Amino acid sequence: MASLRRTRDGEGEVGARVEAIAWNEDGTFKEIIGHKPTIGCSLLVGSVTARSYSSRDYWLTTPITEILEEESNDEYYYCKFKTENSDYEFWSGNVPTSKFSWWKDPEDEIKDKNNSDDNSDWWDIDRGPGLNY
């Protein structure tokens, strides 16, 4: 599983689909040249299939202009990079959560929400999910 996170606001996507996409000069698709951040290419991260009830299935960056940091070993690959518009962090493999405190698996976020003292905005036994009236 891979993760892409925009550093300014934490937005991004998690999924098994990772494609470095090259473009023709006229902005049309040229080819997929790899599966990690590559200078001159956009990076697409997301689901390999459409997700039910999801507001989006993938995240596509503008072309990458600079690789700021790369780290890899047998456990994971990490890359921090700049695009034409933003800075991003990309992960694939087993994320060392002790090193990067911002990382949360989607399952962790669900557990946090379920263990919260205030779940009123998420589920109300009398009214059902998201029906706050």
pTM for the full predicted model? 0.72
- Structure confidence at residue 42 (pLDDT): 97
Confidence of residue 27 (pLDDT cuts 50, 70, 90): very high
Confidence of residue 56 (pLDDT cuts 50, 70, 90): confident
3-state secondary structure of 26: coil
C-alpha distance from residue 15 to each of 23, 30, 65 (Å): 22, 23, 23
Average pLDDT across the chain, whole number: 80
Cβ 91 vs Cβ 69: under 8 Å:
no
3-state secondary structure of 34: strand
Residue 34 has pLDDT above 90, yes or no: yes
pLDDT in tens, 62-118: 999 999 999 999 999 999 999 999 999 999 988 777 666 655 555 554 455 455 454
Confidence of residue 29 (pLDDT cuts 50, 70, 90): very high
